[in-house]
Amino acid sequence: MTIHIGAQPGEIAETVLMPGDPYRAKWAAETFLEDAVLVNEVRGMLGFTGTWRGNRVTIQGSGMGMPSLSIYANELIRDYGAKTLIRIGSTGAMQEHVKLRDVVIAMTSSTVATPSSTIFREFNYAPCADFGLLRAAVEAAAKRGVVTHVGGIYSSDTFYDERPDLNAEMTRHGILCVEMEAAELYTLAARFGVRALAVLTVSDHLITKEELPSDQRERSFGDMVEIALEAAFS
């Protein structure tokens, strides 16, 4: 076990799905995994391990924001041997053609700052997804007939952002959506030589101000989880 993960050796699978919300981890494990077992509940950050089509999978909450995700991703990779980490979560659309309930598969993730910024100093590192995972996710989405967008996203280090000028420039430059974790996940995956991807469901829209009611969010997230699982084991 580690400081933040109470799982015993062997209880974490090599493939880990990482929603931010620990209760979304619980929902996904109960909905998509067979024989799911609770393996972590330290600080309420729930993690479950089970199987999907005979393949071992862990679904571990990561918390909100890059600093929190960085803690869990570091420990999952370094201490538990995770090899494939896929973020599954909600996102806010930043383009008119990206609609509520659409799925975004993040090729790259731009950011103002991440916990890794202190390593790179003046260098602007460009975090990107594992291409094999990305291609498999695109193919899985196509088979399911899911409306999908592939491209660059923005990982914000603040939730209550007061930079409409910056948002406007990102929209102008084709950024599809905003979330809060993927850039650090992609950076850590590159550092440790493992695979990473972010598969996101649009839950709100920064331009139109639309948003999914809370009772519709989980029902809309099923495609995202299935795409992530199929991509991991393609």
* Residues placed in the known binding site for phosphate: 20, 24, 43, 87-90
pLDDT score of 161: 84
Q: How far, in Å, CA of 105 to CA of 83, rounded? A: 19
pLDDT score of 216: 75
Whether 204 is catalytic: yes
The percent of residues in the chain predicted with pLDDT above 90, rounded, is 91
- pLDDT at 21 exceeding the cut of 80: yes
What domains, with CATH codes, occur in the chain? 15-232 (3.40.50.1580)
- pLDDT at 214 exceeding the cut of 90: no
Q: How far, in Å, CA of 11 to CA of 116, rounded? A: 28
* Residues placed in the known binding site: 4, 20, 24, 43, 87-90, 179-181, 203-204
Q: Which of 21, 165, 204, 215 is catalytic?
A: 204
- pLDDT at 118 exceeding the cut of 80: yes
- pLDDT at 40 exceeding the cut of 80: yes
Mean pLDDT of the 50-67 span? 98
Token pair of 56 as six digits: 């071992």
Mean pLDDT of the 106-130 span? 93
